[in-house]
Amino acid sequence: MLALKTIRAVLFDMDGVLYRGQARLPGVTDLFSFLTERQIAFACATNNASMTPQQYEAKLSAMGIVLPADRVITSAQATARYLRDHYSPGTRVFVVGMRGLREALFADGYFVEDDQAPELVVQGADFTLTYERLKQATLHIRRGARFISTNPDRTFPSEEGLIPGAGAIAAALSAATDVTPLVIGKPAPAMFLIGAAMLGATPAQTLVVGDRLDTDIAGAIAAGMPSALVLTGVTTAEEVVTSPIQPDLVVADLPDLLARWRST
């Protein structure tokens, strides 16, 4: 049984938890206000590598959600941090991805973008992906470039429904190259542990709130953190029943989580 009264920090997933597409989900403002009143720190950790933290701050603000950029951790940032720890300055990189990934990798000049002879192919979500870009990435990987993927999410929740995510693009590249990528984002524990340290809490004191068993909840378990699954995104109540991955708490939505928290 999850003891909410022991929680000192919260890491929220974003898509399917705080919003879907451009629509804010119910209860976000009330829950954020409750956490602020209780002096419980919170931030967001998302596998979506398509946008920068500053873009997320603006997107959330447009929906009436106040969250500063320094409280947003993306899989692009986690990927850049991992690569800096393992590769030297000037390493040549070919990117399949969007602004969030490009800025995380290239903003400070540590890595060099190279479409001709890269040492790494780093791939995230790309909503304008072309066959030509996919072909180039395939050829580079087949020539020996290491294949890195920001996250394994096969689908992405939008207002229209579930659409292809970074994991779907990774699957296409794997099928074309017979190479399995090194995946940095959830369910690997790196982003969760970075977030807990940033919020000044231990893993045991940090609650992960997500909508996916295979990434959010599995990642929380890997990081030694308690978890709550909301049923407003990808995972359904029926899938929870049959899954070997089990959260500490299942709630319908954020208002349900807040009601349970208030009652502790």
pLDDT digits (tens, 9 = 90+) for 82-98: 899 899 999 999 999 99
Highest mean pLDDT, choosing among 67-71, 181-185, 192-196, 254-258: 254-258
Q: Which fold has domain 4-47+186-262?
A: Rossmann fold (3.40.50)
Contact 122, 95 (CB under 8 A): yes
Distances (CA, A) of 129 to 43, 57, 96, 169: 30, 25, 8, 9
pLDDT tens digits, one per residue of 149-196: 999 888 887 778 889 999 999 999 999 999 999 998 899 998 898 889
Q: Is 214 a catalytic residue?
A: no
Is residue 13 annotated as part of the catalytic site, yes or no?
yes
- Among 56-65, 127-136, 150-159, 184-193, name the one with the lowest average pLDDT: 150-159
pLDDT at 26 over 80: yes
Name the catalytic one among 13, 153, 211, 214: 13
- Asked if the domains at 4-47+186-262 and 76-183 fall in one CATH topology, the answer is yes
Q: Name the catalytic one among 15, 153, 216, 256.
A: 15
Residue 157 neighbours by CB distance under 10 Å: 23
**Domain positions in the chain:** 4-47+186-262, 76-183
The predicted structure's pLDDT at residue 173:
98
The dotted CATH code for 76-183 is 3.40.50.1000
DSSP H or E stretch at residue 260 = helix 254-262
The model scores a pTM over 0.85 = no
CA distance 159 to 157: 7
Q: What would the mean pLDDT of 125-151 be, rounded to a whole number?
A: 97
